[in-house]
Amino acid sequence: MAEYLDILGEDLLPTGETATRERVHREGLLHSAVIVAIVDENNRILIQKRAEEKEKYGGLWDVSVAGHTPAGHYEIDTTFLESMEEVNISIPIVTHVANFKGLRSFLDKRVIKQDGKPDFIENQLYTVYMLFPNIEQIRQIRVQKSEVSAVDWKTMHEIREMMAEGLFHPRTKWLDVVYPKLAQLAFRGKTPIGKKQEIEK
């Protein structure tokens, strides 16, 4: 079944037109997507390794959760759906504002050459969110093997090193969006989820 996405105009608002995911990436039509950076009590970010079978960038590391906003959906809805689908984290509809934050958006556009196929054009407006899960949510993390082959927790410094080594999906602006908030929390010596608790291995 084809996946439809809302097309955005120059004002970054929906035009009222929808298109299939295939057409969107063939023609480079601007559309919406979300990123969720999942952060633990030590200000480490959950990263995922993309399954080798992924359509693009298989085997590279990526942010905790990322996905397209389906036609007719809000970005916030997509964060709930993608977080459950990719890493099995359920975000309650009623969530304390300190534990789930909407940050800002950024544009990401690139052309991916494909042997024997039309170019795959990325042209997305990403809205970035941060989730500070509780211990129970962390314990429930599981991956969907068709999407994700592994997960790990890394500091911002470690992630930047991995990016420099070419181990990450090239869509890396999200870290610059997340950095100021994490730096602020580190300076204050606290995280929204509060008291540290031992996580079972």
CATH (domain of 22): 3.90.79.10
Query: Does residue 145 have a pLDDT over 70?
Result: yes
Residue 18 binned pLDDT confidence (cut-offs 50, 70, 90): very high
Share of the chain above pLDDT 70, in %: 89
- Residue 18: inside a domain: yes
- Residue 67: inside a domain: yes
Mean pLDDT of 33-38: 97
Please return the burial class of 133, using the count of CB atoms within 10 Å of its CB with bins 0-12, 13-18 and 19+: buried
- The per-residue pLDDT for range 54-105, each reduced to its tens digit, is 888 999 999 999 999 999 999 999 999 999 999 999 887 656 556 888 999 9
- The pTM score is 0.88
Mean pLDDT of 163-183: 94
Residue 199 binned pLDDT confidence (cut-offs 50, 70, 90): very low
Residue 41 binned pLDDT confidence (cut-offs 50, 70, 90): confident
- Residue 195: inside a domain: no
Mean pLDDT of 143-158: 92
Query: Does residue 198 have a pLDDT over 80?
Result: no
Residue 133 token pair = 């899960």
Residue 201 pLDDT: 30
Computed over every residue of the chain, the mean pLDDT equals 88
- Residue 138: inside a domain: yes
Residue whose pair of structure tokens reads 């809805």 in the numeric block:
77
Q: For the chain, how big is the Rg over CA atoms in Å?
A: 17
Mean pLDDT of 5-34: 97
Range of the domain at 76: 4-188
Share of the chain above pLDDT 90, in %: 68
φ/ψ of residue 24, rounded to 5: -55, -45
- Residue 128: inside a domain: yes
| Distance from C-alpha of 29 to C-alpha of 122, rounded to nearest angstrom | 8
Cβ neighbours of residue 178 closer than 8 Å, sequence gap 6 or more: 37, 39, 45, 103, 128, 130, 156
Residue 55 pLDDT: 81
- Residue 29: inside a domain: yes
- Residue 83: inside a domain: yes
